[in-house]
Structure 1
Amino acid sequence: MTQQLHFERHLLGGSERPLRLAFIIDPLDRLKAWKDSSVALMRAAQSHGHDVFAIEAPTLGWRKPEADHPGGSFGEAIHLHLRPDDHDWYRETQREWLPLKAFDAVLMRKDPPVDGEYLAACSLLERAEADGVRVFNRPRALREHLAKLAILEFPQFIPSTKVSRDLGRLQQFIDEQRDVIVKPLDSNSGSRIFRLHRNDPNRNVILETLTGNGRHTVMAQQYLQAIAQGDKRILLIAGKAVPWCLARIPKAGETRGNLSAGGTGVVQELTPGERHIAEALGPLLLKRGLLLVGLDLIGERLTGINVTSPTGMVEIRQQSGFDAAGATITAIEHACAVS
């Protein structure tokens, strides 16, 4: 609790009135309440006394303002009452089409992939932002910080890395590094990630498959032995690092720590090196409109920057007591009060 109060002290002066908060999410029936950070955020918002609405991303739209219609971005808003039961976790109390201007803040929590539909949703949210709607994270920042490529801005913190679709250049990088991880730029949850050794007899066909014979760009990175201690997710809230991270430790015989790939989540305090990276990036990313960010680190090397729908809040609270979801809502209250 002391850590929680110390963390939130810089956010004093938040909203003293109930807010209407809309969460842009994937379909409600796909969310797993016992582990989903979006559900944790909605529960925290309700516990803070705010009205919680869910807008499923496919319902987003826009209409030209006309004499008989205010126009702008809108969506089908589902007013929710959140319940503590993880298997029966909400009640729908009302459903209606509303302009996004009807809300004090909109939280974009749609999961990857960042495909055409995701980018369309960001454009619609950017139109809402132009109309005065507070959107977290900012739509432009979401588009400009793709999880795989965003790390290239910070070469001092990342492992040896090559981004290319050229098979010859990728082969040369594997020869140099001897042991690498190769992944498509649009992969998520550990899908289509391969570890390739210099002498791997399948390396040619794997590279051909991943790049579509040179049509698709991929990222290759030096394999980090520290993955055995976990692929760590560090949360940044309003530019400040949560003092606990979620280390996703691979199961035996696996190179991926993703929980969806069978990894085990163990909450750990940040090391000095991890805190240094978080403190270097946090204020900069916040200034760009990224209120909630997930940094991925392996062995104090930055491997990913997640700005779409960072997770890990449930595990961090269960194992450390730190309420990252509650701290995020406090940050949003503060942003609404000062803007």
Structure 2
Amino acid sequence: MRVLVVMDPIEHVNLKKDSTMAMLWAASRRGHELGYVLQQDLYINQGKAFGLVSPLQVFENSEKYYELGEKKSQSLAEYDVVLMRKDPPFDMNFVYTTYILEQAEREGAWIINKPQSLRDCNEKLFATQFPELQVPTLVTSQQSLIREFIQTHQDVIVKPLDGMGGSGIFRLSAQGANIGSTLEMLTELGKQPIMAQRYIPEITAGDKRILMVNGEPIPYCLARIPQNGEVRGNLAAGGLGEARPLTAKDKEIAAKVGPILREKGLVFVGLDVIGEYVTEINVTSPTCIREIDAQFGTSIADTLFDVLEQGRVS
């Protein structure tokens, strides 16, 4: 196949942890032709989707892990698969990129993940479509409602709807002294909705990332365990990653969410689970492939390409 990747600058990836590189190595091992493009190199001309694309070779060698050819204009529809692996922030540039990719989709390219679903499925709000899998959760910009929520549940996590890597997450208690200032900052004085969730004590055992490929779970997850008194398990916030087999409850959660992911064209997704509850559903550029592969000898990117080589999900 011809495979195009839309990603952040390849020269800046963390080679030990980067899931996109795992995908590119898997594609290369299978003999697929690779192209590389940055978000700002995508464009529409006369109603057709194009990119300033560089031919890409990748090597499983830390000394030299990639080589780029000369950049040239190409129709995105010349590629069988386009991997949208641009990291958040999910800002308007990201939204514009999904419109360009949606045009490529109309021209015949298979975009992973589906552009419309990238827009529709905010990683915090998407999880609220499964209330039976969540702890009590409130989304609002109204500080009075959040204060009521805190009084009801006593111990609460609040976070922005567009954060990543654990940024902007606060734990507030009903007796806390900084509720007002925290809510003013996060809601931008009542103009910006945020999420409040009842605190889940099982976070001390890890915030589990369950990777889903075509609606089916990888048999192992990565538990991201908070360190040094932190409330956040995110690896970007210093969490320790420990791969584990899925529990029966993890598999039950995956079975409930999986069909909706397939329906929405979300082929590669990361579910965040604390204890027995889903907290987020990550659809933009889920990670943790490398950590699970390293600890259990899996090859999750090959599992993904098994699906991609079979053809478009119906």
Alignment TM-score > 0.5, same fold: yes
Match of 1:41 among 23, 47, 72: 23
1:215 aligns with 2:191: yes
- Residue of structure 2 equivalent to 1:184: 160
Give ranges in structure 1 of 5+ residues lacking alignment. Answer: 1-18, 66-71
1:109 aligns with 2:85: yes
TM-score, normalised with respect to structure 2: 0.98
RMSD over equivalenced CA pairs, Å: 1.2
Tell me how many residue pairs correspond in the alignment. 314
Q: Residues 42-57 of structure 1 correspond to what in structure 2 (within 5 A)?
A: 42-57=24-39
1:306 aligns with 2:282: yes
- Residue of structure 1 equivalent to 2:41: 59
What do residues 267-322 of structure 1 show as CA deviations (whole Å, max 9, x unaligned)?
00000001101011112211211111110000010000011111110001000011
1:119 aligns with 2:101: no
What do residues 144-197 of structure 1 show as CA deviations (whole Å, max 9, x unaligned)?
111010011100001111111001000000011111100011111100110111
The runs of at least 4 aligned residues of structure 1 exceeding 6 Å deviation read none
Contact kept, 8 Å, 1:80 with 1:94, in 2: the verdict is: no
Q: 1:282 & 1:20 partners in 2: Cα distance? A: 27
Compute the displacement of 1:327 (Å).
Answer: 0.7
Which is bigger in relative contact order (C-alpha 8 A, separation at least 6)? 1
Q: 1:52 & 1:34 partners in 2: Cα distance? A: 21
Q: 1:251 & 1:214 partners in 2: Cα distance? A: 32
Once the two structures are overlaid, the 10-residue window that deviates more, 128-137 or 177-186, is 128-137
What SS is found at the alignment partner of 1:331?
A: helix
What SS is found at the alignment partner of 1:265?
A: strand
Q: 1:124 & 1:87 partners in 2: Cα distance? A: 34
1:20 aligns with 2:39: no
**Cα distance change on mapping 1:177 and 1:40 into 2, 3 Å:** same
Match of 1:32 among 11, 14, 35: 14
Match of 2:205 among 229, 233, 239: 229
1:149 aligns with 2:125: yes
Give ranges in structure 2 of 5+ residues lacking alignment. Answer: none
Compute the displacement of 1:252 (Å).
Answer: 2.1
Q: Residues 190-339 of structure 1 correspond to what in structure 2 (within 5 A)?
A: 190-336=166-312
Contact kept, 8 Å, 1:246 with 1:312, in 2: the verdict is: yes
Compute the displacement of 1:203 (Å).
Answer: 1.0
Alignment-mate amino acid for residue 39 of structure 1? M
What do residues 102-132 of structure 1 show as CA deviations (whole Å, max 9, x unaligned)?
1111111111111100000000111111111
Compute the displacement of 1:87 (Å).
Answer: 4.8
Q: 1:88 & 1:253 partners in 2: Cα distance? A: 38
What SS is found at the alignment partner of 1:114?
A: coil
Compute the displacement of 1:134 (Å).
Answer: 1.3
- Residue of structure 2 equivalent to 1:7: none
